Structure 1
């Protein structure tokens, strides 16, 4: 065989060996990087509890679905979708229709998570106009629960309720009293299991009071569950409501488990006493 042919074969063989060497090295590096990334993800997952991971998933779902179309209908849709796609769908929210109506054809609901461990502390604001509605709440909560409220009975009607009503209606009213100021009048109450506001809210500054680090928390009060009723929103108010729901999602205090008709139900996942009593038992 001519020498130049042997040399050509030698060059080709050497080039092929070099190519195979670097290809194997690259393959090894990719496998190593994949293992390293997988280990990183697993370590990251292991650094959070299952509960925390469910909260992250819920927040991501809410942000993703609300960014698609900033419409009130899609905001309500996002709340239901994101609850159903996480383990929070296992949380047994009691949704009991009352005989009250927000307006003709739009019924009101009592919403709450029950607990047989210990009595509730319940605060209601606004008039449950029917005795059946009050009794329904009493009958379905643990015995020895404590009830406070502006209209719970004649002896507990808040003397300045009109000022609180004005606050819930508009931040521009001058003769008002804030929710935090009213709750301060409940002597000895530090954790409220259920706050139910049955008056149609039109002042969304209320959500700032309820937020992480808001006035209510600064007063040393914590609320585990909140069911509130909204006044019927016009187009501008719907836009404001969408911003409110976005702030609640980012705030890191409440999960929104239901928006039904004009009523919103939220649960405090940030305060340990609330989380352990009403959410932890259902998250595996």
Structure 2
């Protein structure tokens, strides 16, 4: 019997080597394929634009094409769900037992370390928002599904944030640690004032200023104007659900700078609530460092803001500098189904008076 050899090497040995080499090439191929698929999915995720999927229905309520349009909140048919982020255990709040406010110096025994909160929060938030740096629409759409994890950081989760919901909207607030007049300004108020009434019951010295273009008077507000805010004094077109370009539906407006400088007329707004029926308020130009509020000498300690999906560019122009400036931390994000409305809470952690009143 002849024993065949291949190039003086045992055939069985070469066969085993070939099988091993084949397995190696096969594993390299699989790993390469997996990496390519992951890269492809990442690119698609980062470039995802929720407007693309809803383009067919955008003709029904496409208010972005006409930024001077304003829709009545009661006509929008949107209700925000309640957040699932738990609040820390809260002790009973007794305003009458608090000391008078002295906001000129830091407390010797602060309740919260604002600097440590800032470092912890933005270490979390910066990494999350980096992926949306060139994608404003993606940032807004994914906001409630990503940034909420920063609420759960050790120091951030300890902030005594209280919920004030009225069954339709959920507002958030940190209550003051000392006695001083607290001012609430609401842009786009509503007849449902359960949240405002609860705050008024807790804070004995509580001033309220409100606007809404669709109500002549809301009794929860001491000062109230039936106007929407605008960049000028021209009227705003109210979008009608049946005829969104109806010429007859206009609402009165007030210049945003005039409103805050003269009508509000205070140098510290403790709580600012911004709703879509506020009008064309350019919050991105007012809340940032060196913005309009700072030029007027006005400080804002807390903000509850509701953003429509058409305001992604404005939202990005606000949030991107805030991350760099580290002036506000943003908490309790939520959104309606489909992302029509997004809501979040901002707390000023840079202004000494705000920090002393609410965190120290």
Q: What TM-score results when the alignment is normalised by the length of structure 1?
A: 0.64
Residue equivalent to 1:259: 333
After superposition, the Cα gap between the structure-2 partners of 1:163 and 1:85, relative to the gap in structure 1 and judged at 3 Å, is closer
Q: Deviations over 1:125-174 (max 9, x none)?
A: 222212444423322x3112112222554873326x2344989x89xxxx
1:135 is aligned, of 186, 197, 217, to 197
Residue equivalent to 1:268: 348
Residue equivalent to 1:58: 121
Measured on the aligned residues, the alpha-carbon RMSD in Å equals 3.3
1:217 is aligned, of 294, 300, 303, to 294
1:250 is aligned, of 311, 324, 328, to 324
Point out where structure 2 has 5 or more consecutive residues left out of the alignment.
1-111, 212-216, 238-251, 336-341
Q: What TM-score results when the alignment is normalised by the length of structure 2?
A: 0.52
- Preserved CA contact (<8 Å) 2:232 2:255: no
- Secondary structure at the aligned position of 1:249 is classed as helix
After superposition, the Cα gap between the structure-2 partners of 1:241 and 1:188, relative to the gap in structure 1 and judged at 3 Å, is closer
The structure in which a higher percent of residues are helix is 1
After superposition, the Cα gap between the structure-2 partners of 1:128 and 1:212, relative to the gap in structure 1 and judged at 3 Å, is same
CA distance in 1, matches of 2:358, 2:229: 32
CA distance in 1, matches of 2:330, 2:169: 18
Q: Deviations over 1:203-231 (max 9, x none)?
A: 58422211111111111110101112222
Q: Deviations over 1:5-63 (max 9, x none)?
A: xxxxxxxxxxxxxxxxxxxxxxxxxxxxxxxxxxxxxxxxxxxx953243123222211
- Preserved CA contact (<8 Å) 1:75 1:242: no
After superposition, the Cα gap between the structure-2 partners of 1:76 and 1:163, relative to the gap in structure 1 and judged at 3 Å, is closer
Matched, 1:196 2:270: no
After superposition, the Cα gap between the structure-2 partners of 1:182 and 1:273, relative to the gap in structure 1 and judged at 3 Å, is same
Q: Deviations over 1:78-134 (max 9, x none)?
A: 4221231241211121122213xxxxxxx3112111125224111122222124444
CA distance in 1, matches of 2:229, 2:185: 17
Point out where structure 1 has 5 or more consecutive residues left out of the alignment.
1-48, 100-106
Residue equivalent to 1:158: 225
After superposition, the Cα gap between the structure-2 partners of 1:132 and 1:76, relative to the gap in structure 1 and judged at 3 Å, is closer
Higher relative contact order (CA 8 A, sep 6+): 2
After superposition, the Cα gap between the structure-2 partners of 1:201 and 1:251, relative to the gap in structure 1 and judged at 3 Å, is farther
CA distance in 2, matches of 1:209, 1:217: 8
Matched, 1:67 2:130: yes
Counterparts in 2 of 1:159-198, with a 5 A limit?
161-164=227-230, 177-186=254-263, 189-198=266-275
